[in-house]
Chain A
Amino acid sequence: MALDNIGKVQNYVGSMASLPVTVSKVLEVCNNPKTSPIDLDHVIQLDPVLMGRVLKLINSAYYGLGTQVTSLVRAIIMLGVNTVKNLALSTAVLDRFTDRKGFSAINMEGFWRHSLCVGVTAKLIARRRGVDPKSVEEYFAAGLLHDIGKIPMNAALASDYVLAMAVADRERIPLNAAESRVLGIDHCAAGGAVAQAWKLAGAISDVIVHHHAVAAYEGEHTDVLLTVAVANYYASREEIGFSGNRYPERLDPAIFGRLGIPKSLLEELDGPVNAEIEKAQIFLKMAK
């Protein structure tokens, strides 16, 4: 079953469209011949699928890149505005071929808000920790993309996914545990398949795969992983967006110590996080 389901996820990745929440803004920005690079940057940053596909293009096309490119600004300069616009348009248009009934388990607007909140929160924590400004975007991208595995599960394994969510709610267990029981794979494994197809490596890939198993993680991107885990906890606690996980696992308090930040830091984040999400809503012209 697990292999079969991973196969379904892999098959779906090629037709994965940008989120319904961002589609109209993507079309508006990318169909405008005078689009500013900053608008392009903004609209892509608000969509984990677009972000992932741009990073895939940049990291698979360039020869001898010493490290993964995780900055969208850099990708836009290297690839050119037109190339990125075309890629975004083609990703947005894929939506027409997507079976919208498939988005039945997770509400995509809630998913979007959760993903953005985790990205923004991870970035703000990184800044507060004095992370090198060059790496801050990587924290954002990792946060934005951490739950990417839920999109193909929600669409390609829709009926079983509804069941998994029901199990999680009924038994009050974390969603990933219910996913594993019902589907044989969880969204971290599904996300791993997406990361592989998109040739994402490094911190972003590690966060996608390990964000529900941080204690066992032995890779080299601990800081990003722990930061996203804290951001994920914050988004759930504050109920900013919803990506299906009503009963998340407990966050080990030692994580704050490992990151060298007080837990009370989270109390200071409400203002800036909400401001960023509100800015995004205004940009996307969404109803609040």
Chain B
Amino acid sequence: MFSLRIWGDRGSMPTPGPDTVLFGGNTSCLELRFDGRLVIVDAGSGIRQLGDHLMKTDIKKGPIDADIFITHTHWDHIMGFPMFTPIYVPGTKLRIRGPINYEDDSLESIIGSQLSYRYWPVRQEDLAAKIEYEQIKESRYDLGGGLNVYSKYLNHPILCLGYRFEYEGRSLVTMYDTEPFINVFPTDPADPSYDEDAAREGDAAAADENAKLHRFMQGADLVVHDAQYTAKEYIAGKIGWGHSSYEHAINAAHKAGVKRLLLFHHDPNRSDTELQELELFYQGKLAGRSGLAVEMAREGSTYKIEV
């Protein structure tokens, strides 16, 4: 069995309330199952309910043993960690991997400092679980049992990794938080700070990096892609914020031959009604023109990747 369950799909900040019942208000957390093996992506506020769920189900079979991959250390992707119940349970084993922005602070201190008296009544040192941290970069990990994970830097204001999980010939890719690479250097010769070399190298670098993102999700069975804005919103003032438009996510997934796309990292101001309308709008646009299946990520939903 290869499956995904979404425990949090909201961007930036938890958004409880009547407008977010259908698609959910918790921030990023994905539960992946590879037969008996548990892998979690991100520890946003959704990880609280995942932890409670594990304490009702998995714990009966023995202590919780999981690999957690953090996409990046922005707060909405780590904020749920102190409320992940298994960390208080003796016998729990967690291997937490993720990128750090530059070399001064460790992953352990960035995530673990949430568990200090200033923020929380229990200190990291007092946790019952055995937790190992590993700061990772772009790489490939053989987790054993036929499960391989590839990590790839995306385009976000801090270093952020996308993950590609390959298991028994099927693949699931996380592509958030990210936006397309652009040349950030002036390309208009009339610009006073125009530099011919920088303009040319910047164009080449952006094209090369976008090609790498394309290859990273090529042919994937399921892609969970950042899609916080409409193209209009993105162009009007969100370029450089590190999030994609629906249009970009759909086009990129279509071109990469992806089979199923979940639009993820919903804007905190986007209501259920708006998300439903947008979902229907984009599905309508694609109907008959692409083999790509597109839907908005829904908290609580499970997606099976058939093996």
Contacts and interface: CB of A to CB of B under 8 A. Distances in A.
Interface of A: 36-39, 41, 57, 60-64, 71, 73-74, 76-83, 86-87, 90, 133-134, 136-137
A79 B102 CA distance: 10
B197 A57 contact: no
Contacts of B183: 77
Contacts of B53: none
Given A38-B185, A81-B184, A90-B104, A64 B193 contact: no
Contacts of A57: 102-103
Given A38-B195, A76-B184, 16 more contacts: A37-B184, A38-B186, A57-B102, A57-B103, A60-B137, A62-B153, A63-B139, A63-B140, A63-B152, A74-B205, A80-B158, A80-B159, A81-B184, A87-B102, A90-B104, A137-B197
A139 to B, nearest CB: 12
Nearest to B202: A73
Nearest to B154: A80
A133 B159 contact: no
A57 B153 CA distance: 13
Interface in B168-203: 181, 183-186, 193, 195, 197-198, 200-202
Contacts of B185: 37-38, 41, 73
6 contacts: A38-B198, A61-B153, A63-B140, A77-B206, A79-B159, A134-B201
A79 to B, nearest CB: 7
Contact of A63 (B137, B155, B186): B137
B161 to A, nearest CB: 10
Nearest to B240: A81
A137 B201 contact: yes
A62 to B, nearest CB: 5
B209 interface: yes
B138 interface: yes
Contacts of A38: 185-186, 193, 195, 198
A74 B195 CA distance: 14
B101 A77 contact: no
Contact of A80 (B140, B151, B157): B157
B156 interface: yes
Contacts of B209: 77-78
A73 B153 contact: no
Contacts of A137: 197, 201
B101 A73 contact: no
Which 10 A-B residue pairs are closest in the complex by CB-CB distance? Answer: A63-B138, A74-B205, A77-B205, A37-B184, A73-B201, A61-B137, A82-B157, A38-B193, A87-B102, A73-B198
Nearest to A71: B201
A78 B200 contact: no
Contact of B102 (A90, A133, A136): A90
A77 B200 CA distance: 12
Interface residues of B, number: 32
Contacts of A74: 201-202, 204-205
A61 B206 contact: no
Nearest to A82: B157
A282 to B, nearest CB: 14
B205 A71 contact: yes
Given A60-B137, A61-B138, A62-B153, A77 B102 contact: no
Contacts of B102: 57, 83, 86-87, 90
Given A73-B198, A77-B202, A83 B140 contact: no
Contacts of B205: 71, 73-74, 77-78
A80 B137 contact: no
Contacts of A80: 155-159
Most buried by A among B156, B185, B201, B204: B201
Nearest to B193: A38
B158 A83 contact: yes
A80 B102 CA distance: 12
Contacts of B197: 73, 133, 136-137
A78 B183 CA distance: 10
Nearest to B186: A38
Contacts of A79: 159
Contacts of A78: 153, 181, 205, 209
Contact of A41 (B157, B181, B198): B198
A62 B205 CA distance: 14
Contacts of A39: 193
A57 B104 CA distance: 12
A62 B198 CA distance: 21
A141 B186 CA distance: 22
Interface string B129-168: 0000000011110000000000111011111000000000
A62 B156 contact: no
Nearest to A89: B102
Contacts of B139: 63
B202 to A, nearest CB: 5
Contacts of B206: 77
